[in-house]
């Protein structure tokens, strides 16, 4: 199988598996226990915090461990909202194509009387810092913009957006779930106040992540019931998971340059290959995108059948089609960049892994071409397009 | 557990009666691309019998499988029998569909209904 769905989740690295299994077996003590065996687990926990903090230029005290990216997003946004509310600030700025962990949390706040501005992401999936600046008001409590988009992989000018927020004295949070471990991140250099991360997107385990929160930001609890994480997140810490996350992140960050070079080369090759398919289009900016991300729309076909046939050919990928989500609407990300429903249903996301080979890239290109052509062969939509009864969009 | 039954996957991978029927005397199209499913049914009816049937589908795996199964269920059958085909019968013949995919079988039933209606209006014109 060629696993090309690394934006969904990644395989755990051998090193992370080793860290995790040895801790599960040998260091099962509770970090809150005072005896030596518990304190050993506490040491592991704090070492992980230190290692993780170092990878993004943060202080260990600024790292809160969570169950993953969604929890970190929820806690960051809720915390900023509560802080703003105290000062009469009930306006939040975000973008139309955020992850649902952000959008749904904002919906919840809107019901509590917060005003939400969702910035347009344009056809290329990039938000300009000056657009953020223009949207900031007297009562803006938070700006939350994702670092890299999970579907189309576009990377934002986080440093620029952060600078705008800093200048106007507004808190800035970024959902960096798709970026961390894949792009160099320095929270201070990039003016980031809060950042969400999830271990399983960089070869760590599932169910563990963290929130970076700049010193001085008072967090609001989502989970009550204990003194763990300085009282900001109750529940016995997932020590093996957290330590494995640190192992995985260290390895990922140390290999960013090497991986980026290889992935970019393969990504560009696949993009060039798929562009040869008539009436197709790349989604999202071609240059400012994750080295692992390829996202296309193919006119006249539907994404789920494309995925099933690629699966038959041993390729695991993803689509923004409504049929893959169980809802009637296709991906909100594709709609946000201006793809109409008819076209958004025929999308394909390939998120390639660091171990992908040139031969595998060739095989992916060949397979996608075959499947698209096959499905178009009995698509009434394609027939009408070719016959000139309807107009091509792409 | 797989997303679909073996039957669905079989009809999806090897759709029966797929393509265009040039001498069809009843053609029906249902669904729209906005929702992600379009089915087109071509019927060739002679002496009140569905002599031949073909389909074209833009849609997900279960939409393609439902169209394929529906054509098998009515091919060679009296028109009256084709008219009575229900979406439930299509879904059952496929060994079931996930709940949120049942609308695919409804679409197959509606596509046949639309094609039969077209056939009838052509007959009236004669």
**At A326, is the pLDDT very low, low, confident or very high (cuts 50, 70, 90)?**
low
| Residue B36 pLDDT greater than 90, yes or no | no
Tell me, what's the pLDDT at A273?
A: 98
Q: Per-residue pLDDT tens for A85-121?
A: 999 999 999 999 999 999 999 999 999 999 999 999 9
Which residues in chain A have Cβ-Cβ distances shorter than 8 Å to B9? 308
What's the rounded Cα separation, in Å, for the pair A350 and A269?
A: 13
Which chain A residue has its CA at the smallest distance from B3's CA? Answer: A308
Q: Is B21 on the interface with A (CB under 8 A)?
A: no
In this predicted structure, the answer to whether residue B35 has a pLDDT above a threshold of 90 is: no
User: Which sequence positions of A are flagged as catalytic?
Assistant: 323
Query: Considering all CA atoms of chain B, what is the largest pairwise distance in Å, rounded to the nearest integer?
Result: 53
Contacts of A380 in chain B (CB under 8 A): 29, 38-40, 56-58
Find, in chain B, the residue whose alpha carbon is nearest to that of A304. B60
Place B40 in a pLDDT band, splitting at 50, 70 and 90.
very high
Q: What ipTM does this complex have?
A: 0.96
Q: Any CB–CB contact under 8 A between A379 and chain B?
A: yes
* pLDDT score of B1 more than 70: no
What are A28-43's pLDDT values in tens digits?
Answer: 999 999 999 999 999 9
Q: Which residues of chain A lie closer than 8 angstroms to B19, CB-CB? A: 378
Q: Is there a contact between A370 and A310 (Cβ–Cβ < 8 Å)?
A: no
pLDDT band per the 50, 70, 90 thresholds, residue B125: confident
Compare all CA atoms of chain B with the CA of A313 and give the residue at the minimum distance: B13
Indicate the pLDDT class of residue A132, thresholds 50, 70 and 90: very high
Per-residue pLDDT reduced to its tens digit, B85-95: 999 999 999 99
Distance (Å, whole) CA A234 – CA A226: 4
Confidence band of A324 (pLDDT split at 50, 70, 90)? low
Confidence check: pLDDT of B2 > 90: no
Cβ contact A342–B33 (<8 Å): yes
At residue A325 the predicted structure's pLDDT band, cuts being 50, 70 and 90, is: low
pLDDT higher for A342 or A273?
A273
CA distances from B71 to A179, B15, B82 (A): 48, 10, 9
CA distance B80 to chain A (A): 27
DSSP states of A72-137: HHHHHHHHHHHHHHHTT--EEEEETT--HHHHHHHHHHHHTT-EEEEE--TTTT---HHHHHHH--
- What is the per-residue pLDDT across A236-295, written as a single tens digit (0 to 9) for each? 999 999 999 999 999 999 999 999 999 999 999 999 999 999 999 999 999 999 999 999
pLDDT at A320: 86
Q: So what's the pLDDT on residue A13?
A: 98
* Inter-chain CB pairs, A–B, below 8 Å: 69
Lowest mean pLDDT among A297-311, A324-338, B56-70, B105-119: A324-338
**pLDDT for A327:** 67
CB-based contact B53:B75 (threshold 8 Å)? yes
Quote the crossing angle between the two packed helices A256-275 and A358-376, to the nearest 10°. Answer: 30
Does residue B33 register a pLDDT over 80? no
In the predicted structure, residue A322 carries a pLDDT above the cut 80: no
Q: What is the pLDDT of residue B32?
A: 84
Say how many C-beta atoms besides its own lie within 10 A of residue A25's C-beta: 9
What is the spatial distance between Cα A38 and Cα B119, in angstroms, rounded to a whole number? 79
Task: Report the gap between the CA of A151 and the closest CA in chain B (Å).
Answer: 19
Q: Which residue would you say has higher pLDDT here, A341 or A327? A: A341
């Amino acid at each position: 199988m060629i696993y090309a769905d690394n934006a969904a989740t990644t395989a755990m690295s051998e090193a992370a598996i080793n860290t995790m299994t040895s801790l599960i077996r040998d260091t099962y003590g509770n970090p809150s226990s005072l005896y030596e065996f518990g304190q050993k687990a506490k040491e592991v926990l704090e070492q992980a915090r230190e290692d993780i903090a170092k990878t993004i230029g943060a202080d260990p005290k600024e790292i809160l461990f969570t169950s993953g990216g969604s929890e970190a997003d929820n806690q960051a946004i809720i915390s900023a909202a509560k802080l703003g509310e105290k000062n009469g600030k009930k306006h939040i700025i975000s973008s139309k194509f955020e992850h649902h962990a952000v959008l749904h949390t904002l919906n919840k706040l809107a019901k509590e009387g917060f005003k939400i501005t969702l910035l347009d992401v344009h056809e290329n999936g990039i938000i300009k810092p000056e657009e953020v600046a223009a949207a900031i008001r007297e009562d803006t409590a938070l700006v939350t913009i994702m670092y890299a988009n999970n579907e189309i992989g576009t990377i934002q000018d986080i440093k620029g957006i952060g600078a705008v927020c800093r200048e106007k004295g507004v808190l800035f949070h970024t959902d960096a779930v798709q970026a961390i471990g894949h792009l160099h991140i320095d929270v201070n250099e990039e003016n980031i106040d809060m950042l969400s991360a999830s271990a399983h997107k960089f070869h760590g385990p599932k169910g563990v992540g963290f929130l970076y929160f700049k010193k001085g930001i008072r967090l609001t609890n989502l989970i009550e019931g204990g003194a763990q994480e300085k009282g900001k997140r109750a529940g016995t810490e997932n020590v093996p998971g957290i330590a494995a996350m640190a192992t995985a992140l260290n390895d990922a960050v140390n290999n960013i340059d090497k991986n980026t070079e290889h992935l970019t080369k393969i990504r560009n090759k696949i993009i060039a290959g798929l562009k040869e398919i008539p009436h197709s289009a790349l989604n999202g900016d071609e240059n400012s995108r994750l080295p692992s991300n390829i996202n296309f729309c193919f006119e006249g076909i539907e994404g789920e059948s494309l995925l099933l046939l690629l699966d038959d050919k041993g390729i695991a990928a993803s689509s923004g089609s409504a049929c893959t989500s169980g809802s009637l609407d296709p991906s909100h990300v594709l709609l946000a960049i201006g793809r109409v429903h008819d076209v958004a249903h025929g999308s394909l996301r390939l998120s390639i892994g660091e171990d992908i080979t040139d031969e595998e890239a060739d095989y992916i290109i060949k397979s996608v071409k075959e499947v698209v052509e096959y499905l178009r062969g009995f698509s009434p939509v394609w027939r009408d397009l070719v016959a000139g009864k309807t107009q091509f969009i792409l | 557990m797989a997303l679909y039954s073996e039957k669905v996957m079989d009809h999806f991978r090897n759709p029966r009666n797929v393509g265009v029927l040039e001498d069809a005397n009843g053609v029906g199209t249902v669904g729209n691309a906005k929702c992600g499913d379009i089915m087109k049914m071509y019927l060739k009816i002679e002496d009140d019998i569905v002599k031949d049937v073909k389909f074209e589908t833009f849609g997900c795996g279960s939409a393609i499988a439902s169209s394929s199964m529906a054509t098998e269920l009515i091919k060679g059958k009296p028109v009256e029998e084709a008219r009575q085909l229900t979406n439930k019968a299509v879904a059952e013949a496929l060994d079931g569909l996930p709940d949120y995919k049942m609308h695919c079988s409804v679409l197959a039933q509606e596509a046949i209904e639309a094609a039969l209606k077209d056939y009838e209006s052509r007959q009236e014109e004669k």
